Amino acid sequence: MSKQLGPLVFFLGVYLVVPITLARLIVGATWLQIAIAYVILVLGLGLISMGGSTIDEKVGWMLILGMFFAIPGIPILSLILRKLGVGL
């Protein structure tokens, strides 16, 4: 059972817990700003990953890029949205 939970815990940590914690504690973003930042990030990664030839490649590229861009991207996008006054 623990081997099955390992990837899930990693996924939740990298894509959700760490970026949301950084955005809330360091940036001071609201939940709405964080949600908008996630939408922007997912749409951006979706556009980038459209270049793959198969659906597996597209999903794979989206997961790989998401892993590297979620942790710095969500707090930075939240900060930009906060400075612009979006989602207050």
Domain ranges of the chain: 30-88
What tokens were used for 64? Answer: 């790989």
pLDDT band of 76, cuts 50, 70, 90: very high
pLDDT tens profile 30-58 = 999 999 999 998 888 777 767 667 777 77
User: Quick check: pTM over 0.75?
Assistant: yes
CB 70 within 8 A of CB 45: no
Tell me how crowded residue 20 is: count the other CB atoms within 10 A of its CB: 20
Q: Residue 1 pLDDT > 80, yes or no?
A: no
DSSP 13-26: IIIIIHHHHHIIII
Cα 32–Cα 36–Cα 42 angle in degrees, nearest 5 = 145
Among candidates 50, 87, 41, which has minimal Cα distance to 68?
A: 41
pLDDT tens profile 57-71 = 777 777 787 788 888
